[in-house]
Amino acid sequence: MSKPKITTEFSRYSDPDLLAKVDEIYDSLTSNLNFPTPTPALIIVNTLAADFRLCLTNAASHDKVDVSIKNQKRELLESTLINLGLYVQANGKDDESILLSSGYDLQKPKAPIGILDKPEN
């Protein structure tokens, strides 16, 4: 059986869904005894999320500059979540319940395909 791993792919999330996921991760890691000293610090994640939330509101006007700034803030937030995910994975002790307590989702386990049938044509 393979070790459980968290997923750090956030590009599939819409902007509002990403903010909801960040809030879930932040709330889950706050005072979580399994992850006593998150790196990067949760205050940094919270600050980046607040910046992104503000830029998302500003970009609602579809101004090109505001949209570009929002995209830059999203990229920074995603890279910070990836780094935080590395901390979570390293300190999760390969325990599925500990990893899930972080607010991150787990990757689907890889299933072997097995022997394929012989092609008929």
Flag whether pLDDT at 121 surpasses 80.
no
Question: For residue range 9-45, what is the model confidence (pLDDT) as tens digits?
Answer: 999 999 999 999 999 999 999 999 999 999 999 999 9
Flag whether pLDDT at 109 surpasses 90.
no
- Give the count of beta carbons closer than 10 Å to the beta carbon of residue 40: 14
Computed over its alpha carbons, how large is the radius of gyration of the chain?
Answer: 18
Residue-level pLDDT at 1: 62
- Give the count of beta carbons closer than 10 Å to the beta carbon of residue 110: 8
Largest CA distance in the chain: 60
Q: Where are the alpha helices (DSSP H) in 30-63?
A: 42-58
